[in-house]
């Protein structure tokens, strides 16, 4: 396999999810944003009658999160297809005779259920969280040898309105589509007689798995950058024991492009993105996991801006040339006075 990451093995350790800002908000009483909500200023912003921050915009955002938020609280044994029927239980396990063909089938299935990009790589324990948000140690059984990594395109018109709430709606809908995708692709694999661990942002780091699966490269903005959609994708993945053929990482000039582009750093209102010409091992905040050579994002500055903005921000995605968001894309998602 090509060398995809420059890692200092003396420093690198599996990432503890409790260090991630979304987790710290819920569990770290010492964290300055403990129990705060990104949308806590919504009533104040609605009164300002600012484009992209109206009562209707916030309603759309709430609707876009629906499936994802439902999935988070739903007992996982309630998520099932017809596999609990006796007639399905009696079906024999599907024996994979051609791993290449099975991989092609998986990609077709993933596309059918909404994936814009799909790649397959070997299971790599380096990217599995050491502990989850609740402090539970994460260990993946050895039979899970493959990772199916899927990317979902986010709406370019909504994203173009960043940093407004309508831009946040594109992210929210991306998460709900991710939820739909892992539920259905996971059930397809289980219906063949195999096992799955479906994941959104939980359990393992999405970006390095996506890079290994050939979906793209790590950009200056700290996000996956794909050739077709730039960073305008949400990533989900499934660990499985279904025999599959691994995708080779493609050649890409994205990394070299990021060294000189710097548009995302220039556009970032939080000053969270590095202007350094070259990636390095220099971390920017406690949330960064040291030991990998890259452009480290100052996640705290980014997240603090979300609170000030009253919604999450996607400006670094919007301005990336690979994201193919036209400069003259309408900034008003609705195209009408609301």
Q: What is the DSSP string of 51-64?
A: TT-SHHHHHHHHHH
pLDDT at 327: 63
Which residues in the chain come in under a pLDDT of 50? 1
pLDDT at 330: 57
Q: Which residues contact 280 (CB under 8 A, 6 or more apart)?
A: 293, 294, 295, 296
pLDDT at 76: 79
CA atoms of 285 and 273, how far apart (whole Å): 12
Signed CA dihedral, 258, 259, 263, 264: sign only: positive
Q: What is the pLDDT of residues 161-220, one digit of tens each?
A: 999 999 999 999 999 999 999 999 999 999 999 999 999 999 999 999 999 999 999 999
Signed CA dihedral, 103, 107, 109, 113: sign only: positive
pLDDT at 226: 95
Tokens of 9: 């093995």
Q: 216 near 313, Cβ under 8 Å?
A: no
CA atoms of 258 and 49, how far apart (whole Å): 37
Strands (E) in the chain, as ranges, are 117-122, 146-153, 196-199, 217-218, 224-225, 233-240
pLDDT at 146: 98
Q: What is the pLDDT of residues 134-169, one digit of tens each?
A: 999 999 999 999 999 999 999 999 999 999 999 999
DSSP 230-271: BT-EEEEEEEE-S--PPPPPPP--HHHHHHHH-HHHHH-TT-
Collapsed DSSP state (helix, strand, coil) of residue 337: coil
Cα-to-chain-centroid distance, residue 4 = 19
pLDDT at 331: 64
Q: Which residues contact 269 (CB under 8 A, 6 or more apart)?
A: 163, 305, 313, 315
Q: Which residues contact 21 (CB under 8 A, 6 or more apart)?
A: 33, 287, 299, 300, 303
Signed CA dihedral, 28, 173, 127, 204: sign only: positive
C-alpha closest to that of 148 among 55, 89, 232, 212: 212
Tokens of 318: 């919007």
pTM of the model: 0.94
Cα-to-chain-centroid distance, residue 123 = 18
CA atoms of 181 and 70, how far apart (whole Å): 14
What letter would DSSP give residue 200?
S
Cα-to-chain-centroid distance, residue 31 = 23
């Amino acid at each position: 396999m090509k060398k995809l990451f420059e890692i200092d093995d003396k420093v690198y350790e599996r990432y503890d999810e409790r260090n991630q800002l979304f987790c710290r908000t819920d569990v770290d009483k010492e964290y300055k944003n403990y129990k705060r909500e990104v949308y806590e200023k919504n009533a104040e912003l609605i009164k300002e009658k600012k484009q992209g921050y109206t009562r209707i915009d916030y309603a759309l955002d709430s609707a876009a999160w629906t499936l994802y938020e439902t999935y988070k609280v739903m007992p996982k044994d309630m998520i099932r297809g017809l596999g609990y029927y006796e007639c399905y239980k009696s079906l024999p396990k599907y024996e994979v005779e051609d791993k290449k063909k099975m991989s092609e089938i998986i990609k077709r299935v993933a596309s059918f259920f909404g994936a814009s990009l799909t790649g397959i790589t070997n299971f790599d324990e380096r990217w599995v969280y050491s502990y989850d948000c609740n402090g539970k140690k994460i260990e993946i059984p050895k039979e899970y040898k493959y990772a199916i990594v899927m990317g979902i395109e986010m709406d370019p018109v909504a994203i173009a309105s960043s940093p407004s709430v309508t831009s946040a709606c594109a992210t929210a809908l991306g998460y709900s589509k991710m939820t739909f995708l892992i539920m259905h692709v996971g059930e397809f694999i289980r219906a063949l007689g195999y096992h799955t661990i479906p994941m959104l942002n939980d359990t393992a780091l999405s970006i390095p798995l996506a890079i290994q699966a050939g979906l793209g490269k790590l950009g200056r903005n700290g996000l996956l950058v794909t050739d077709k959609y730039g960073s305008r994708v949400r990533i989900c993945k499934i660990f499985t024991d279904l025999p599959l053929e691994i995708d080779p990482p493609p050649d890409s000039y994205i990394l070299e492009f990021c060294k000189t582009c710097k548009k995302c750093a220039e556009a970032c209102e939080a000053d969270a993105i590095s202007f350094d010409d070259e990636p390095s091992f220099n971390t920017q905040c406690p949330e960064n996991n040291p030991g990998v050579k890259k452009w480290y994002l100052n996640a705290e500055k980014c997240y603090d801006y979300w609170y000030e903005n009253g919604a999450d921000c996607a400006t670094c995605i919007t301005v990336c040339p690979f994201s193919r968001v036209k400069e003259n894309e309408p900034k008003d998602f609705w195209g009408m006075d609301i």
